[in-house]
Every structure is written in structure tokens, then in C-alpha cells.
Structure 1
Amino acid sequence: MYSLLLAIIYIAFVSLGLPDSLVGAGWPVMHQDLGVPIAFAGIITMIIAGGTILSSLASERITRRFGVGIVTAVSVGMTAAALVGFSVSGSFWMLCVWAIPYGLGAGAVDAALNNYVAVHYAARHMNWLHACWGLGASISPFIMSYALASGLGWSSAYLIIGLIQAVLTFALLISIPLWGKVNPIVPSGHAVESDEAEETADEPSGRTRTHVPLARAIRIPGVILILTAFFAYCALESTAILWASTYLVTDRGVAPATAAAFASLFLLGITAGRFLAGFFADRVGDRLMIRGGFLTVGLGVVMLALPLDTDVPALVGLVVLGLGCAPIYPAIIHSTPVNFGRRNSQAIIGIQMAAAYTGSTFVPPLFGAISIWTGMWILPLFLALLVALGLLMSERLNQLVARRARTSELA
């Protein structure tokens, strides 16, 4: 049961990454066919992000009521329906309508699956699963490219991926009985609290008994710290993805083709880094993975900013940035049940997903506005501030958890 369900979850993560690059890959053609300005892509992505944030915040209540298996299957089904809807949309307003179930489905499944894996599987799987998401996100532009080059049109790319999601939905529906048969892990060094002993996560479909209201979850000591760290990390990653190539061209004089290639290597660095991190994540531990990741990102930022005659350090620094980013997201998610208990983890991971999407949605445009007044040269400094914020908040959480552990031992 353990291996079969894990295989399904791996496939699910690849499939979940597939839609995430489609809008960006196809929009240069889509906006012309739909007769709207190119800037309207931001409207679509904002609708999707808004739905994702809302469903992430509601994920704990929904998952508690229906179970993670049903929530995952229905959410992927919603995404599949939205993608098929995109494929038959002949006007911009139809895309806006289908973007609503697209975002709602994405947020719910993201929070539910991440919590289930954090509770039931080792840290290496969390890293490899998120690497699989990156693999899916890297494949979809090629599907869009094939559809456009072969004359099938952008709608065919959405239809292909929508059908893939529909097949996954069917597989998830069949697998629902398996979700409650995998026992939760107890990480080394983590004493299960008494209330958690009564409320294990291996009830049918991963359903939990006690609802943790959003207001109560936010008041748990340390939650604000990890939300801030997660916000900073996702803002850092998305800002680098959007603006690094422009920075290399405008401020470092790098050829556009070279800058684009190394910007793609940043994403490949994240994906490859997560595959590599999975081999030693269990031995190193989540805390050191987060700390090492932020410090490596800091090194990459310094290399990016070095005022040298050669551009090699800046280009290599962008790859180092990707490698440093790789373990941070999976480690933050995987450490949540350890830091806050399994009873609270679903609610807190839902809020973390909302914080993540808030950072990745709003901070890159904020930097764009700032750069209009200051110039693109400020990018390394902006990234350094986000690194410092994320590292500071995560280290303060480590201190809080350590004090809590010492108090429990003395009691």
C-alpha cells in the first residue's frame, strides 16, 4: 500500500506541475487570437492566484471533512475541467471564468498533498516530489511549443494536459481507499504529543477529528515566523525567475540569448537540486537543509552582484541561486508536523501555501515598480534582503522549538 500510493503521489506531483507554465508559454499567441493586450496575462494569473490563496486557507476544514484522498481527486478534477475549458475558450472573459476553478483546485490539492506527505513520508520523498513538480512545469512549455509548431494551436496544448489531468483524476478516485492505510511517521527526536496520540492521521482517507480554526492556528507560537520565512522564500524565487534575465542584460551587458539560457538554468538548478537533496535530506534534517539553502542562495546573490569585468561569476551565481533554493520549500513543509504537531499541520500548511502564493504573486510586480525608480541594479540587494528575512525568521523558529523541547523535558 505504501509504495503503490507513493507512486500515485509522484505521478500526481508531475501532473500538478504541468499546468503552471502554460499561460506564460502560450500567451504571446493567445493574446493575439483573443484580441486583448499582452498585459492581460496578469489578470488571468491574479484570478488563479486569488482562488489558490482562498482554497489554501480553507484546505484544513475541507480536508478534515472529506479526507485527503477525496480532496485530491476532486481538486485535480477541477483543474482538468478548467484546462479543458481553456481549450474551448474563444474569448478572454471565458478564460477568466475557467481560471476560477483552476485556482481553487490548485490551492486545495497543494495544501492537502503537502501535508499528507509531510506526515506520512520521509524528507527525501518531499524533496523528490517537489522535483517532480519542477519536471512537470518544465515539460508543459514543450507541449505548448509542439502544439504551436505543428499548427494545432494553443488550445490543443491545454486540451492535452487537461486530458492527462482527467486520467490522473480517475486514478486518484480508484486510490481513495489507500489513503487511510499508510501509517504516519514519527520523525526522530520528536515526541508525539498526547493529544496527537489520540488523533492519528491514519483515519479513513487521512481525515482528522479536530478542526483547527484559522485564527487559532495563526496564534500558535512560531507560526508567524514560518509564514514570514515562507513568504520571503517564495518572493525570492519568483522575483529571480521573473527579473534575473532582465538584470543580466540591462546591468551586466550579457547577451539576451545567454541571459535567457542561464535564467532557465536557475529553474533546472532548483529541480536538479531537489533530486540531489533527497539523497541526504533524512540524514541532514530539515533545519540544516533550510539554513544551508538560504546561505547558498546568499552566496549566489553575492556572486550575482560582484562588480567584475567578467560575467562568469554572475552567470554561475544564478545557477548557485537555483541550487540553494532547491531544499528550502520542501524542508519548510516537511518540518511543519514536527514543529507544530500533526494536529495543527494541515491548517498551518494551508496558511503556508497562502503565504507562498501571496509572496510569489505580489512581490515580483512590486520589485518591477521599485526598479522603475531605482534601476535594475537593485535586484541583488532586493534578493539579499529577502534571504536575510527568510533566514532570520527560520532561525528564530528553531530557537523557539528548541526552548519548547527543553521545557517539555524538564516537565
Structure 2
Amino acid sequence: MTLLLLVIIYLAFISLGLPDSLLGAAWPVMHLDIGVPLETGGVLSMTAAVGTVVSSLASGKVIKRFGTGKVTVVSCLMTAMALLGFYFAPSILWMVLFTIPLGLGAGAVDTALNNYVALHYKAHHMSWLHSFWGVGATLGPIIMALFIAGKNGWRGGYLTIAVIQMILVVILLLSLPLWRRVSKEQHAESVDTEALVSSTTDNDLSQVKPLQIKGVKFAMLTFLFYCGVETSVGLWGSSFLVNVKELPAAVAAQWVSFYWGGLTVGRFLTGFITFKMSNRNLIRSGQIIAFVGGALLLLPLPSIVSLVGFVMIGLGLAPIFPCMLHETPARFGKTHSQTIMGYQMATAYTGSTLMPPLLGFIASYTTIAIFPFFIAIYIGIMLLSTERLNSITK
């Protein structure tokens, strides 16, 4: 039963990754079709991000009241209906409207499933869970590209992803009794001793507000800068390679895809490495590898070294996010883990939303050559935050 539920959670994370990369893949065609400027895509992205942050912050109370299974079903239904809305949307105003439930649904299901896996499964499952998100994020543009090249256009791509999401909603709805049964078994057996802290610690923290627990703010700061690095590299990497390293645009895009590939493959490999290394050592090692990768982009070396740098950043970032999430109950107790998980996801999405535009804004007044400096600084702050967190929660 536990294994069957885990498969369902993996499927849910593939579906969570599918819509995340759709807008970027379709927008060059979409904005022409609906007659809006290219930069309007930022409005949709920001709207989705705000919805995601709001639902992440509220997830603790919502999940405590309704349960992980029901929240996951409703969230996926919201996402499916929002994608269907994009298929029918006649104007940009309707798209902005449908982006609100898209963000709310994504934030709620992301937070719910991350905390559930952190509490009830071992560290390697968390890493594999996020590699399945990478599978979805990779498949989304591929599906969209097939429809853009055909007669159905981008609307056909959104319709297809919406149908896939609806199928998942049906599967999740049928699995609700399974969630309840597995939760009872897991609670009775306490199978994951790595994730659950002692009841004494939880009792000590039960009367403390989550934000007052020592180390929580440093954990949130780590997530802020982690997502700042991840999305900044994905957004501005090609521009850096084209304008500074003077690579053709097609080659630059391919090199950045190796970065995403390193991130996805790295998380899959991390699942096996967790059998030999602790979460904390994996996080530290990943940050050091990513920092070295960022340093390679700074050096005046042949262009091929930049490819190595991008791959190293991807591989280095791979274990950080899932291992940080899995450490949440162990560091702060399971009593407040759901609420703290929501805070962490909210700051993560805030980093994804604000830090790449900040880099772009400064680059527009200076040069995109500042890109590797910002990446190195972001990684450095992230490393200092986690080391401080480790010393507090040791």
C-alpha cells in the first residue's frame, strides 16, 4: 500500500512539473496570437508566483484541517481547470484570471506532498520525487513544441496538458481511501526514524510559534537564495553565453539544457547517494560543487569550460532542495513541519520571482557579464546560511 501511494505521489509530481515550463515554451507564439507585447509574459509569471506564495503560506492550516490527500486532489483539479481556461481564453485578461488558480493549486500541492514525503519516506524518495518533477518540466515544452508545429497551435498543447491533469485528478480521487489507510499504518509504525524527531522535542516546541524556532529563518534564507540561483541560471544563462562568450543562440540554448539535465540526473543519482551520505553532507557538498561551477564561469577560459561550469552548477544544486525539505521535520520537529514547509516553499517561490528580475534589471544598466558574479554571490550566501543553520540545529 505504501509503495502504491508513493507511485501516485511520483505521478503527481510529474504533473506538477508539466505546467511549470509551458508558458516559457509557448509565449513567443502566444503573445503574437493574442496581440500583447512580449514583456506581458512577466505579468502572468508574477501572478502565478503570488498565488503560489499565498497558498504555500496558508497550506499548514488547510492541510491540517482537510488532510494531504484531499488538498492534493482539489489543487490538481484547480490546476487542470486553469490550463483548460488557457485553451479557451479569448484575451490576456482571461489568462491573468486563470493564472490565479494555477498558482494557488501548484503551491498547495507542492507543499503538501513535500511535507508528506519528508514525514513518511526516506531521503532517497525525496530526491527521486524532485527528479520526477524534472521529468514533467522537460516533457511540458516537448508536448507544447509538437502542437506549435502543428495546426492546433499552443491552445492544443494547453488542452493536452489539461487532459493529463484531469486523468491524474481521477486517479487521486480514487486513491483517497489509500491515503487514509497508509497514514494510519505510517503513524502506528513510525517507519522513518531519520525524519521523525523525538516526542520530547516536539512537546518542547508545541507551544512555540514556528517562526520563533531557532534556525527557521536561516532555512528560509537558504531556500530564497537556492531558487534565486536555480531560476537565474535558467533565465539568463543563454544571454550570458551569447553576449559574453559569443556563442550562437542555438548552441547557448543547448548548453543551458545541459544545466537542467544535470539538475534532473543529479537528483536521480542523489537518491542512491543518500544511502551513504547524510542530508547535511549532501547539501554542503552540492553547494561547494555549484560554487566551483559558478567560479568557472568567472574565469577567462575557453568557452567549453563554461559548459562544464553550467553542468557543475546543475549537479551541485541537485541535492540541495530535496535534502533541505527532507531535513525539515528532523530539524524543527514534526509538530510544526507542515507550517514551516509552507514558509520555506513561500520563500523559495519568492526567490524564483524576484531575484532573476533583479539580476536582469542591474544587467540592463551595466552588462550581462555580471551574471557569474551574482551566481557566485547567491551560492556563497546560501552556503553561509546552511552552515549557520547546521550549527544552530546540531
| TM-score bracket for this pair, using the shorter chain length | over 0.9
Aligned partner of residue 279 in structure 1, secondary structure? helix
Contact 2:122 2:194 in 1 (8 A): no
- 1:330 is the counterpart of 2:322: yes
Distance 1:298 1:338 in 2: 26
Match of 1:225? 218
User: What amino acid maps onto 2:40 in structure 1?
Assistant: F
Contact 1:119 1:337 in 2 (8 A): yes
1:79-158 aligned within 5 A: 79-158=79-158
Contact 2:118 2:195 in 1 (8 A): no
Distance 1:197 1:240 in 2: 42
Match of 2:359? 367
Distance 1:177 1:219 in 2: 36
Contact 1:186 1:192 in 2 (8 A): no
Following superposition, the deviation at residue 59 of structure 1 comes to: 0.1
Contact 1:147 1:154 in 2 (8 A): yes
Q: Deviations over 1:372-394 (max 9, x none)?
A: 23311111111111111111110
Aligned partner of residue 283 in structure 1, secondary structure? coil
1:64-79 aligned within 5 A: 64-79=64-79
Distance 2:104 2:197 in 1: 35
Q: Deviations over 1:350-408 (max 9, x none)?
A: 01110000000111010011112331111111111111111111011111111xxxxxx
Match of 2:232? 239
Contact 2:118 2:325 in 1 (8 A): yes
Q: Deviations over 1:315-350 (max 9, x none)?
A: 111111111111111011000000001111100010
Q: Give TM-score, length-normalised by structure 2.
A: 0.95
Following superposition, the deviation at residue 35 of structure 1 comes to: 0.9
Match of 2:376? 384
Contact 1:295 1:324 in 2 (8 A): yes
Following superposition, the deviation at residue 198 of structure 1 comes to: 12
User: What amino acid maps onto 2:198 in structure 1?
Assistant: V
Following superposition, the deviation at residue 283 of structure 1 comes to: 2.4
Distance 1:44 1:298 in 2: 32
Distance 2:326 2:197 in 1: 16
Distance 2:322 2:358 in 1: 26
Aligned partner of residue 278 in structure 1, secondary structure? helix
- 1:9 is the counterpart of 2:9: yes
Distance 2:280 2:393 in 1: 11
Match of 1:172? 172
Determine what percentage of the aligned residue pairs are the same residue: 46
Unaligned segments of structure 2, at least 5 residues: none
- 1:282 is the counterpart of 2:275: yes
Distance 1:371 1:94 in 2: 32
Aligned partner of residue 175 in structure 2, secondary structure? helix
Change (3 A) 1:190 1:78: closer
Greater alpha carbon shift after TM alignment, 188-197 vs 79-88: 188-197
Match of 1:59? 59
Q: Deviations over 1:116-157 (max 9, x none)?
A: 000011111111110000110000111111111121111111
Match of 2:284? 291
Contact 1:187 1:338 in 2 (8 A): no
Match of 1:307? 300
Contact 1:122 1:282 in 2 (8 A): no
- 1:268 is the counterpart of 2:261: yes
Q: Deviations over 1:54-99 (max 9, x none)?
A: 0000000000000000000100000001001111111111101111
1:165-204 aligned within 5 A: 165-180=165-180, 181-182=182-183, 183=186, 184-188=190-194, 191-194=197-200, 196=202
CA RMSD of aligned residues (A): 1.7
Distance 1:305 1:197 in 2: 49
Contact 1:83 1:162 in 2 (8 A): yes
Contact 2:197 2:334 in 1 (8 A): no
Unaligned segments of structure 1, at least 5 residues: 200-209, 403-411
Following superposition, the deviation at residue 196 of structure 1 comes to: 4.5
User: What amino acid maps onto 1:187 in structure 2?
Assistant: T
Distance 2:13 2:204 in 1: 31
Q: Say which of 219, 244, 248 aligns to 1:255.
A: 248
Following superposition, the deviation at residue 186 of structure 1 comes to: 3.5
Aligned partner of residue 214 in structure 2, secondary structure? coil
Aligned partner of residue 315 in structure 1, secondary structure? helix
User: What amino acid maps onto 1:249 in structure 2?
Assistant: V
Aligned partner of residue 342 in structure 1, secondary structure? coil
Contact 2:119 2:196 in 1 (8 A): no
User: What amino acid maps onto 1:291 in structure 2?
Assistant: R
Contact 2:197 2:329 in 1 (8 A): no
Distance 2:140 2:195 in 1: 40
Aligned partner of residue 187 in structure 1, secondary structure? coil
